[in-house]
Structure 1
Amino acid sequence: SDPRHSGGNIYINRNLSRGIGLQFCKHLLEKQSTIAVVATSRDPENVHRLHNLAQVYPGRISVVKIDVTKGNDIKDAAEKVKDKFGSLDLLINCAAILHPSRKGETNLGGWYSYHMSKAALNMATKNLSIEMGRGRDKVACVALHPGTVETDLSVPYRQNVSKEKLFSAAYSVQCLMNVIDGLSLHKTGRFLAWDGSELTW
């Protein structure tokens, strides 16, 4: 194995400043004492919650600046991770945006850009699973549905969600990690819910 990767698993988490992304960082650091987390952000200097975590878990968080709309940022981030750790065990791509306007939302449809972007994400995951399933070092790729989670993103939209279906970030991440821990190449390319059930595309 690579000597830079002898201390434990290396996890990279994209978009960590709040919500589910930040909770993934907390969960990984709390539950697994030997792992290192590479956390990425467009503006890492101002991610204050992350800096607080770094004080609690010194030496176990590496912050890398990345704007995924910029190819050079992606390339530079990949090189930094490779130089420091040699390899990577898990990539969690946790990012979302939801327009604050409720315009277009109806019981018959609506939310067109949001729904279309999710369909595109599913297709990207499927294609990536095919590409990463080739060769000797195969990688499982899945899309995950976290449920409706109590985050800043969901505040304007969750008033009609029943209490038992509204999850805390901690509960959602625990469920998602259970799903991740049970992944195999047999499940690659699938869309899985927080409880492990398979969702149709």
Structure 2
Amino acid sequence: MKLHLVTRAVFMARPFLKHFATTRASSSSYSTLASSSATKWDGGVSLVQGASRGIGLEFVKQLLEKNERGHVVATCRSPNESIGLKELKSKFAQRLDILRLDLTIESTIEETADAVRDKYGSLNLLINASGILSIPDVLHPETTLSKVQRSSLLLAYEINAIGPILVTKHLWPLLKVGGGLGTGRDVAIVANLSARVGSIGDNGLGGWHSYRASKAALNQRLS
């Protein structure tokens, strides 16, 4: 199967890891599994990581509303606290699964991958939407260099840069199986939400050091 990855910086996207776009399965069992999955899940299977609110929640909503045959797995740290996901579940009970995934706990990423494999056997689209800029009493945007703290840098990097690549790592086998089958696309897609402030060349304002550095790392790690 082909696999294609993109990074999305607000409204812009660019392709990368081009060598993966030409990766194909060589075994007959691999191809058989992919064909079986595409037949069973016509419309495709998508996973949105960081889906409790904001852009992630909107991705889930749009995927469900615009593709009446597609299935969506929505993950977030505290599913029971997301009113938006609960409302969507009441409308799309048969096509929406909600799972707990905490980017700081790798075992929850593994559990999510296991759950998707057990129910669907493949994946066609992965959207890594979570990211942190600030957390009350924990992490604040640094308007001056004197406000930079080691703990803030490490936390922002863990969630904004390390988290997405770990999610991709554990879901990679399912994406390779799914490819674009059942979706009308040629390839499976991994989309990572970045931000313009993660651009080194476009950093004219400074500040927000933890967020800028972690988003720049995300751009580079998966590019």
Q: TM-score, normalised by structure 2?
A: 0.52
Greater relative contact order (CA < 8 Å, ≥ 6 in sequence): 2
1:22 aligns with 2:57: yes
- Where structure 1 has 5 or more consecutive residues not aligned to the other structure, the ranges are 127-201
- Displacement of 1:7 after TM fit? 3.3
Flag the 1:109–1:34 CA change in 2: closer, same or farther, 3 A. Answer: same
RMSD of the alignment, in Å? 2.1
What does 1:39-58 correspond to in 2, within 5 Å? 39-58=74-93
Aligned position for 2:110: 75
Over the matched positions of the two proteins, sequence identity in percent amounts to 40
Instruction: Look up the match of 2:219.
Output: 122
CA separation in 1, counterparts of 2:111 and 2:129?
A: 20
In 1, distance between residues paired with 2:42 and 2:120?
Answer: 10
Aligned with 1:89 (options 110, 124, 131): 124
Report if the CA contact (8 A) 2:141-2:208 is conserved.
no
CA, structure 1 residues 112+30, in 2 after alignment: closer, same or farther (shift >3 Å)?
same
For structure 2, the 5+ residue unaligned runs are 1-34, 135-139, 146-202
Residue-by-residue CA offset, 1:11-41 (whole Å, 9 max, x unaligned): 0001111110010011111111000000001
Residue type of the partner of 1:95?
A: S
Q: Is the 8 A contact 1:2 1:86 kept in 2?
A: no
- What is the TM-score normalised by the length of structure 1? 0.58
Code of the residue aligned with 1:103 in structure 2: it is T
Alignment of 1:54-69 (within 5 A): 54-69=89-104
Equivalent pair of 1:5/1:86 in contact (CA under 8 Å): no
Which one of the candidate residues 48, 57, 67 is aligned to 1:13?
48
